[in-house]
Amino acid sequence: MGKPTGFLEYERKEGPVRDAKTRIADFDEFHALLPGKDQMLQGARCMACGVPFCQAGVMIAGMASGCPLNNLVPEINDLVYHGNFEQAYIRLSKTHCFPEFTSRVCPALCEAACTVGVHGEPVSTKENERSVIEYAFANGLVKPDVPAVRTGKKVAVIGSGPSGLSAAYWLNKRGHSVTVYERRDRAGGLLRYGIPNMKLDKRVIDRRIRLMEESGIEFKYNVNVGKDISADKLIKEYDRIILACGASNPRDIKAPGRDAKGIYFAVDFLTEITKTVIDSDYDYEKCIKKSDYSFGSLKGKNVIVIGGGDTGNDCVGTSIRLGAASVIQLEMMPKPCEARAVTNPWPEWPKILKTDYGQEEAISLFGSDPRVYQTTVTEYIKDKKGCLTGVRTVKLSPKKDEASGRMQMVQVEGSESELKADIVLIAAGFLGSEEYVTSAFKVDVNARTNVSTGEGCFETSRNRVFTAGDMHRGQSLVVWAISEGKKAARAVDKSLMGY
């Protein structure tokens, strides 16, 4: 696959990225593709290795290694190398329904497991896939997939995030009639409102939703199942139900002063910004100057983001675009190594330092990395009017718990300090599914409030009700949600048809 000596002949090369100081003036995507001929050479770097872990999608040491969708990575790279982008799209479509999403937001599990990456830079599989799907859209290859025969079976999918969309796509392809219920005004779930526009342009989602509608999938918006319509009514109306409502409960960081004005969950913050971008028809100047957000204007304000993950990084990049005077990102865990540790060998997921776009922009604008490691908030400071003015923090140190043998982060005495803060954004992840949905459908949940199923199964404790995505496995990656939706669709199809 590819050119056997390509990885020795060609260096890894990625598409051009707009300068950090330029791109913070808008919410446009800033990572472009390489010209076709250059992208072909990147496909040539795929080295025909004996065991392509890139497409394995297996768990190693508790972490995913390779693509959970089992995309036929070497074959696709080979077709890119030969300039056959149409066949590459056909091959990619055998396993993947939404490569335009993952090629923008996935952390590239395939590349982390690439054999070329053992001693050099891995194959740029993520960009190769994006070039393939964008070529397909540009050349009219992506068309509505209307099934020739309908089964007469009806399935309701609750939630239009990546798992719900994936389940709807595959079930419709099999000939079932699918209706997707979404409580918000547009489809996409966290793809739509939890990921900023500069990372995933929402017109990319709209493009796919139009195709799904033309394929026969019905979308019902502004319908909150469990409140606006009863679960029992849907169970009577449909042959099967799939719950794909996500892990929607944000994890709080509680400390004295938590009731101060100026503390927000990251998901609410990012949702409001993205909705404004879309509602204003992508008028970025209007969005940046807008002062009547629920949090007011960020211009000239000091922002602290609690949480060091992707959502925290998105908050950093968004705050900078809204004119924040300073942005600090607090991370409880130690700073990762810059290279793989001996205890973290290939093809495990590399637990190494990653500087993402928001942090790059903060470094460019403020002159330093916004991340402060091994630190947590012990108190939110507020004035007499109850408005946030700062936070008290304390340093943390890893210490092994003798009873469990696990490492825990404990406070370091005498390390307290104060930071100015007008706004705090809590990006500490999610705890699980929302209780009103699981109660409405009377399905069992586990200790983490994820919907319970048997090992490797997708049917819940209630007959004919299935689940998929974060609601099933807990907070995870978009690619895992898409994989879960596909597997849940297969389980539903088998329960309906017997095969």
Q: Which tens digit of pLDDT belongs to each residue from 406-419?
A: 889 999 999 999 99
Dist. CA 262–CA 294, nearest whole Å: 9
Q: Are 252 and 264 in contact (CB under 8 A)?
A: no
Residue 400 pLDDT class (50, 70, 90 cuts) = confident
Q: Are 134 and 100 in contact (CB under 8 A)?
A: yes
152: number of Cβ within 10 Å: 10
Domain with CATH 1.10.1060.10 in the chain: 6-138
Give the model confidence (pLDDT) of 328-349 as tens digits. 999 999 999 999 999 999 999 9
Tell me 30's DSSP state.
-
Listed in sequence order, the DSSP H helices in 29-188 are 36-44, 73-81, 85-93, 99-105, 109-112, 125-138, 162-173
Predicted confidence at residue 64, as pLDDT, reads 87
Predicted confidence at residue 196, as pLDDT, reads 98
Dist. CA 111–CA 343, nearest whole Å: 19
Predicted confidence at residue 405, as pLDDT, reads 82
Residue of 182, 178, 177, 198 whose CA lies nearest to 357: 198
Cα 307–Cα 276–Cα 249 angle in degrees, nearest 5 = 40
Domain with CATH 3.50.50.60 in the chain: 154-249+431-497, 263-426
| β-strand pairing of 58-60 with 63-65 | antiparallel
| β-strand pairing of 240-243 with 218-220 | unpaired
Q: What is the mean pLDDT of the chain?
A: 96
High-pLDDT (> 90) share of the chain, % = 95
pLDDT(263) > 70: yes
Class for domain 6-138, per CATH?
mainly alpha
Tell me the residue type at 141.
L
Dist. CA 32–CA 454, nearest whole Å: 43
Give the model confidence (pLDDT) of 71-109 as tens digits. 999 999 999 999 999 999 999 999 999 999 999 999 999
What count of Cα atoms within 13 Å lies in the side-chain half-sphere of residue 253? 27
**Which CATH fold topology does 154-249+431-497 show?**
FAD/NAD(P)-binding domain (3.50.50)
Q: Which of 252-256, 315-319, 399-403 is predicted with the least confidence, judged by mean pLDDT?
A: 399-403
pLDDT mean over 185-202: 97
Give the model confidence (pLDDT) of 446-455 as tens digits. 999 999 999 9
Predicted confidence at residue 134, as pLDDT, reads 98
User: pLDDT higher for 63 or 176?
Assistant: 176
Long-range pairs of 446-450 with CB within 8 A, sequence gap ≥ 24: 448/474, 449/249, 450/247, 450/474
What count of Cα atoms within 13 Å lies in the side-chain half-sphere of residue 364? 18
**Which CATH fold topology does 263-426 show?**
FAD/NAD(P)-binding domain (3.50.50)
Query: Which residues neighbour 215 within 8 Å (Cβ) at sequence distance 6 or greater?
Result: 144, 145, 146, 172, 173
Residue with tokens 């949702």: 271
Q: Are 157 and 179 in contact (CB under 8 A)?
A: yes
Q: Which structure tokens are listed for 10? A: 């060609």
Predicted confidence at residue 1, as pLDDT, reads 66
Predicted confidence at residue 3, as pLDDT, reads 87
Predicted confidence at residue 22, as pLDDT, reads 97
Residue of 316, 338, 297, 279 whose CA lies nearest to 425: 316
